[in-house]
A and B are shown apart, each in its own frame.
Chain A
Amino acid sequence: MMSPHPAPPRISLKTALALQRMLRPDRMRYAFAAWLEATPVAYRLFTWWEEKIKGRLFGCRMCAQCALPSTAYACPETCPKELRNGPCGGVREDGGCEVYPELRCVWVIAYERAEQEGRVADLRRLQRPIDQRKWGQSSWVNYWLGRDEGLWE
């Protein structure tokens, strides 16, 4: 298995936050997510589509427990050590990843984005260990069904 590679997000934090507001959980989305889960073909199609979109925008690897809203929309699962609570001590002086020096550390990117939009406080949150059983599920379905509550403090 290849180690994950740090992926710079393709959209600005502002745009991502606007999308986040549009996709907020509500009763309709809850019903839609519940229907998706009860309909395997639709769930597979939706998840395939989610993977395409989030993969392209954030380098998403489908951990299904999305940390993006709390990491300035730079995905920590693209860190080769999959660190969800901040950068390791090996970040190079130029901001390069320790493991892949030609790529920028995803946490350096996250911090710069957060700082620019005044959201550094987001990066202080303690991120709980993820549930390794959920890989490959739809994070949007989990989010709309309220299962992401408790991912961070």
Chain B
Amino acid sequence: MSLRAALTERRFAVTAEIGPPRGANAEAIRRAARALRGWVDAANVTDNQGAMVRMASWAGSLIAMQEGVEPVMQLVCRDRNRMALQSDLLGAGALGIPNVLLLTGDHPKFGDHPDARGVFDLDSVQLVWMARTMRDDGRLLSGLELKPPPRWTIGAVENPFAPPLRYRAERLGKKVAAGADFVQTQYVFDLPRFGEWMQSVRELGLAERCAVLAGVGPIRSAKALDRMHQIPGIVIPDEVTNRLRGVPSDRFLDESIAICAEIVRALREIPGVAGVHVMAFGLEEAVPEILERAGLGRRPQAVAR
């Protein structure tokens, strides 16, 4: 079933994530896609995530489609100027990639090519705006006409947990004004803080205009937990950390999956949350279990075309 249909029918949507490999091989994407097929409405295909060079997201999106998984093609401002962004967006339209997710991108400093120049010709809000203009007005940023215009849904991201906290809902408001149809958030571990952000989102009237998909995901190991604590913008409350540290290492992942499922259950009760975005990089096989434990079954089958 498609993400667009899930959002317009107001069915609780599920997206996941596929990270393309470092290498010219389609198998890793096929394997991840097969694990997710039937369980998600769509899966993001990341674009040089963490500023690490990987196979292009458009190529990964195409492979996911061949495996029967609807892709959300990620596209970052870090690696392209406004011309390359637009041509990649047109390419996505021509290939039938139904969704794009537009973001600024991590700084090169944190990746495998810290010596690279970050482009940042546009920021994420400007990229969303440009994409909306391409789709709805059929025009490039230069004003030149497009024929035919692309038809993807436009996604964006927001982090409800990073300062300035009181500005975070407003910032989503800018992305909605610029044209975002849906937004995926940073990992939610701190439910009270997420609830406060959602309240502001509702008060600003954004939840009706833009589907909010809350980010969740299992933490693979104690080492991964330590690493996640280091990542700026991810907030893991002591309660979660203590629970994970309290179990023997062979039960770590199991506990982590249980916590993730509990968070999904809690998120389903928050008004205005339109779905979840499950980030389980390298743990795609765990996604069905998380969803089942959270009371979300397989996705409704797509009508035969």
Contact = CB atoms under 8 A, between A and B. Distances in A.
A85 B78 CA distance: 15
A100 to B, nearest CB: 9
B1 interface: no
B118 A95 contact: no
Contacts of A80: 107, 109, 118
Contact of B107 (A81, A107, A129): A81
B162 A87 contact: yes
Given A85-B124, A89-B186, A124 B157 contact: no
Interface string A93-108: 1111011010001011
State which size class the interface on B falls in.
35 or more
Interface in B93-113: 104, 106-107, 109
A112 interface: yes
Given A81-B120, A85-B125, A91-B233, A129 B164 contact: no
B52 interface: no
A37 interface: no
B280 interface: no
Given A85-B125, A85-B174, A123-B167, A90 B117 contact: no
Nearest to A124: B170
B164 A107 contact: yes
Contacts of B164: 87, 91, 95, 107-108, 111-112
A31 B104 CA distance: 40
Given A88-B104, A89-B162, A81 B123 contact: yes
B273 interface: no
Contacts of A3: 107, 109, 118
A39 interface: no
Given A3-B109, A129-B121, A86 B233 contact: no
A126 interface: yes
Contact of B170 (A88, A98, A101, A120): A120
B162 A91 contact: yes
B174 A99 contact: no
Contacts of B129: 126
B82 interface: yes
B178 interface: yes
A83 B107 CA distance: 12
B155 to A, nearest CB: 14
A105 to B, nearest CB: 7
Interface string A122-137: 0110111100100000
Which 8 pairs show the lowest CB-CB distances between chains A and B? A89-B159, A85-B125, A111-B164, A91-B162, A86-B171, A90-B232, A83-B123, A98-B232
26 contacts: A3-B107, A3-B109, A80-B107, A80-B109, A81-B78, A82-B123, A83-B104, A84-B126, A86-B125, A86-B167, A89-B157, A89-B233, A90-B162, A90-B233, A91-B233, A92-B232, A92-B233, A93-B163, A98-B107, A98-B232, A101-B232, A123-B170, A124-B170, A126-B129, A127-B125, A129-B121
Given A87-B167, A91-B162, 14 more contacts: A81-B120, A83-B124, A86-B125, A86-B167, A86-B171, A87-B163, A89-B159, A89-B186, A92-B163, A98-B232, A99-B109, A126-B129, A126-B174, A129-B130
